[in-house]
Structure 1
């Protein structure tokens, strides 16, 4: 199409481009049939998705409604995502496994060399020198009395093997009735059916309840509930009485908790009482040292620092240091001898147990830890790191406690109104701090309040052992900045934004991102006001601040006279970060023209100069006319975009995509916000450019005044359907059926 007719509106001739700071200028047409010609600013700037969208890709993710950040590289204590943003890794790879940091060439080369020599052998009939040497080395660094090791491929398998060993021990000793296990309720030992049964957290067990063995659980001895440990001992006595102590196989626990209750360990009185009850009743004590083992707490095993010696130890993560999948179960000689003297077999195992490749890596990891002194370093540096974190957070009334040992530290948050209670779960404080930390370039792991009431919002802080002091200091500073940022918001919400029922205010909170004076929210703002929304305008071109998107129910990114692929725009990185974080937190985003192009770009699509440009009131081809009516919609753009991975094309035109949905977000190429006042401003500011393009400005204004009432109705329909059907936002005055 070309401009024509009395209104002189329509698709402009191809070969028009936008210049930074202006609308459009005529340039020679790019020859050829390529759909994506080179962009004017250093060529087409290709983006990469920072997340895998929910439902996108072939991976069956653990959390199906959660976008997953894509990490593509790591070096030491730093990692880089697919957009090139770098983070300090205060979680050692996310699960505390990468204890030696990322990208160690000696371990990478070892994997290559061992694979060339021999990578796999079945340990059911064969053994190998790497397995034998690694077992001997683990016995050397284990607590006194441990003489045997069995290898597995991960922590859950190690814990399950420990359960089996305890059972076989009692059967071998002529006590086959012993099978019950007692463990802390606030715990996590893995996702297999037996290890899942060890936790008392119903939210984790979910639908698997019918498959799970019924065990007994006791509450934790935290400073909040049981500072001395006596209440936990009383609960243990009660559990023993309920099932009969002669029926108890083992007490199963972490010596220092990881994700379930970050860096918590019971007081000495509990451990002493536990040892007394073992002596009296004859059950075993099994330690889950999947996280704490191999140096994490400043000792080879956390058991070495407690007034009790367990009978079985399971470990995993630090043994492979993130370079291989390997775990191990260590047995005291008394346990091994009882099984060996009667059963003579422990044949249940897995394919890769004890294979040369993982055992060679494990052996090298132990060698590095020993020769470079990292376990001693963690023991020496850990207390001062904890003090630095305490001091950085000391003035924040949201922080209740910083605890832990070595490089396994935990932060516990509380309600500043009484200085004791857990924060209201609906505030999602741990998740907000985790996202704020990511904005500051720091990766940490937050845990949310649990149904049983034993834990509230918390964070783990567990950096790689070789992290330089400068990076540790920066981690502490970034963590403190993230906590301070969220604490300021939470104080305000607790003070003024809680409803009578104790939850957050029900009003729709909307952030509108505006890029310059001539591009306001117009009708979109009016419609939101009609819905009773609390609207905040963020002039990102004028305000040099970061915004927490989780404070809002909806983010609206407006149009701009600039190009979404132009990374030289001073504020564009801040907006990309904002959209990425909002999407990652499942906050719906409505992107209009520039905003829609940028949304597509940050989620893995491309934004680039289009072959066709569009200006005027034009229809679109819609696959869902209830969501995106055919229009006409006002268009003024010279760029286009591709649909991001996981997105669904809703509407298009000859010039390219016009609307797409991804998750709870919608991006459109057109301008539903246009009003007579906005058009007056655009024509006044850019009349000369319309003249250059052959578009009659006065005819465009006349056409806008004629069509605006209908355009408002169409735009209202789009906004309503998007808010309710895609974003899942409850609009005032509408029932559950939408009427």
Structure 2
């Protein structure tokens, strides 16, 4: 049997002696919400104040991860609330089959302009999963309408292992995270295959240079095209910096140039998933602006609206848009709430605040300081295998043995327990984002730090101090079997 901990930790229990006895009926829950974990009583947030969240029991939690790397300008910004209210007073909903709205037009213009002319149009939806579904359908329709020679055989996608691209069935199929996929494999499309991620900590051999590692990964992708039949592949899908599945892993220099060359060789598209790593998280508006390549299609989310409204989107290149414009003149896809005016108004306000306050310069300035402080405090810890990331997007991989990089058993739930301890103990009062499956989709633990772009130098020092003490104390307590005693 399994029992779920406060934040979703699964704890193994011995089975009952009599297997034929019916399971006990759980008590009637006090909440009517279909929570992610049905046996838990979640603490409630009563308000947000900058980098802090205030809970209903009075605790002030330093939000060092922005939730799931979302809260990019912190919590409770009145300017965004005012923009949302103003839009709701004007018009709250727009049926995009008939109309457009000023808020949507302005946001999409901002997004297109932020690409330096490389992208032509933006398609606004409500979640990253929706964005990935739209990107896949857009890639398929592009090849159906490609003139003068359509390519209807292109129905396949190649993505990477230990990746996560969304929770809906199409997006889940593109993702390569075993634990998230396992229940739903029979339902998922079978037109996706996976190759190795660019993960130097675990994938690069000691004798390899970066160039040799890149060449090996490019050759693996080339071989996969050949195995599938190059004429059947729509696109290669990847996160420029892998977020939830690997813990803020950037590629080695030259990787995406080599990957794009393979895609171009076989006429396939390059789709970048920047839902977690994009919209300023790494110090530039788009993460690909630091890779020397431009995708054909790009998904965005999380930091586009900073959590003030549910919003995400797809950016399409001129070639994609021109092909559809000259063909059917329509994208055969749509949502009731696409281009929602209130969501667009919130996102535009967030992006204007980032631009007006030059917050990406703050990310570029303090990102290296965050990295340096983490290395100083945790770089030599026996259970910290790797610290990696860019800008305000950093991952700490936790290992059982530093020399061999051997992970903890999945049943130890190390990352989740650290996150739980950070919230439950007044000694830390900090939120970090836990992740598992780092090694192979099942084993391996990491935590992610993703501060708000307007975090101060003092707050960065506080984050590192609390996280370092959290990690140190957790493993010290775990070693002597007294983890519960450090929780208050």
The correspondence for 1:146, drawn from 94, 98, 119, is 119
Superposed CA deviations along residues 14-56 of structure 1, whole A, max 9, x for unmatched, are xxxxxxxxxxxxxxxxxxxxxxxxxxxxxxxxxxxx9999954
- Matches for 1:667-682 after TM superposition, within 5 Å: none
Residues in 2 aligned to 1:51 and 1:84: alpha-carbon distance in whole angstroms:
19
Q: Show the counterpart of 2:18.
A: none
Residues in 1 aligned to 2:432 and 2:135: alpha-carbon distance in whole angstroms:
30
Question: Any idea what SS the aligned residue of 1:209 has?
Answer: helix
Residues in 2 aligned to 1:326 and 1:458: alpha-carbon distance in whole angstroms:
27
Structure 2: segments with no counterpart, 5+ residues: 1-5, 9-26, 205-212
Q: Is 1:383 aligned to 2:346, yes or no?
A: no
The correspondence for 1:280, drawn from 265, 269, 274, is 265
Residues in 1 aligned to 2:264 and 2:402: alpha-carbon distance in whole angstroms:
45
Residues in 1 aligned to 2:370 and 2:296: alpha-carbon distance in whole angstroms:
32
Residues 389 and 282 (structure 1), Cα distance of their counterparts in 2 relative to 1, 3 Å cut: same
Q: Show the counterpart of 1:316.
A: 301
Q: Show the counterpart of 1:76.
A: 50
Q: Show the counterpart of 1:327.
A: 312
Select the structure with the greater relative contact order (CA < 8 A; seq sep ≥ 6): 2
Residues 56 and 231 (structure 1), Cα distance of their counterparts in 2 relative to 1, 3 Å cut: farther
Residues in 1 aligned to 2:90 and 2:224: alpha-carbon distance in whole angstroms:
52
Following superposition, the deviation at residue 426 of structure 1 comes to 2.9
The correspondence for 1:457, drawn from 421, 435, 445, is 445
CA RMSD of aligned residues (A): 2.2
Q: Is 1:133 aligned to 2:118, yes or no?
A: no
Q: Show the counterpart of 2:184.
A: 208
The correspondence for 2:218, drawn from 229, 233, 237, is 233
The correspondence for 1:177, drawn from 144, 153, 169, is 153
The correspondence for 1:480, drawn from 461, 464, 468, is 468
Residues in 2 aligned to 1:157 and 1:476: alpha-carbon distance in whole angstroms:
34
Residues in 1 aligned to 2:309 and 2:130: alpha-carbon distance in whole angstroms:
15
- Matches for 1:234-253 after TM superposition, within 5 Å: 234-253=219-238
- Whether the aligned pair in 2 keeps the contact of 1:201 and 1:450 (CA below 8 Å) is no
Residues in 2 aligned to 1:244 and 1:492: alpha-carbon distance in whole angstroms:
55
Question: Any idea what SS the aligned residue of 1:115 has?
Answer: helix
- Whether the aligned pair in 2 keeps the contact of 1:186 and 1:200 (CA below 8 Å) is yes
Following superposition, the deviation at residue 435 of structure 1 comes to 2.3
Q: Show the counterpart of 2:357.
A: 372
- Whether the aligned pair in 2 keeps the contact of 1:260 and 1:447 (CA below 8 Å) is yes
Residues 262 and 99 (structure 1), Cα distance of their counterparts in 2 relative to 1, 3 Å cut: same
Q: Show the counterpart of 2:20.
A: none
Question: Any idea what SS the aligned residue of 1:458 has?
Answer: strand
Residues in 1 aligned to 2:278 and 2:51: alpha-carbon distance in whole angstroms:
20
Q: Is 1:468 aligned to 2:444, yes or no?
A: no
Superposed CA deviations along residues 373-418 of structure 1, whole A, max 9, x for unmatched, are 0112112211111111111112311111111111111001222363
Superposed CA deviations along residues 129-161 of structure 1, whole A, max 9, x for unmatched, are 221111111111115421111111111111111
Superposed CA deviations along residues 626-646 of structure 1, whole A, max 9, x for unmatched, are xxxxxxxxxxxxxxxxxxxxx
Q: Is 1:223 aligned to 2:200, yes or no?
A: yes
Q: Show the counterpart of 2:83.
A: 110
Following superposition, the deviation at residue 347 of structure 1 comes to 4.2
Q: Show the counterpart of 1:197.
A: 173
Following superposition, the deviation at residue 428 of structure 1 comes to 2.2
Following superposition, the deviation at residue 112 of structure 1 comes to 1.4
Structure 1: segments with no counterpart, 5+ residues: 1-49, 494-546, 552-573, 579-739
Residues 250 and 272 (structure 1), Cα distance of their counterparts in 2 relative to 1, 3 Å cut: same
Following superposition, the deviation at residue 492 of structure 1 comes to 5.2
Question: Any idea what SS the aligned residue of 2:309 has?
Answer: coil
- Matches for 1:423-572 after TM superposition, within 5 Å: 423-438=408-423, 439=425, 440-449=428-437, 452=440, 456-491=444-479, 548-549=483-484
Superposed CA deviations along residues 678-736 of structure 1, whole A, max 9, x for unmatched, are xxxxxxxxxxxxxxxxxxxxxxxxxxxxxxxxxxxxxxxxxxxxxxxxxxxxxxxxxxx
Question: Any idea what SS the aligned residue of 1:421 has?
Answer: coil
- Whether the aligned pair in 2 keeps the contact of 1:51 and 1:69 (CA below 8 Å) is no
Residues 51 and 277 (structure 1), Cα distance of their counterparts in 2 relative to 1, 3 Å cut: closer
- Matches for 1:622-641 after TM superposition, within 5 Å: none
Q: Is 1:399 aligned to 2:384, yes or no?
A: yes
Question: Any idea what SS the aligned residue of 2:174 has?
Answer: coil
Q: Is 1:60 aligned to 2:34, yes or no?
A: yes
Q: Which has the larger radius of gyration?
A: 1
Residues in 2 aligned to 1:400 and 1:180: alpha-carbon distance in whole angstroms:
36
- Matches for 1:538-617 after TM superposition, within 5 Å: 548-549=483-484, 578=488
Following superposition, the deviation at residue 340 of structure 1 comes to 1.5
Residues in 2 aligned to 1:453 and 1:156: alpha-carbon distance in whole angstroms:
19
TM-score calculated relative to the size of structure 2: 0.87
- Whether the aligned pair in 1 keeps the contact of 2:201 and 2:386 (CA below 8 Å) is no
Following superposition, the deviation at residue 425 of structure 1 comes to 2.5
Following superposition, the deviation at residue 451 of structure 1 comes to 7.8
- Whether the aligned pair in 2 keeps the contact of 1:143 and 1:309 (CA below 8 Å) is no
Question: Any idea what SS the aligned residue of 1:197 has?
Answer: helix
Superposed CA deviations along residues 39-77 of structure 1, whole A, max 9, x for unmatched, are xxxxxxxxxxx9999954111112334443322211000
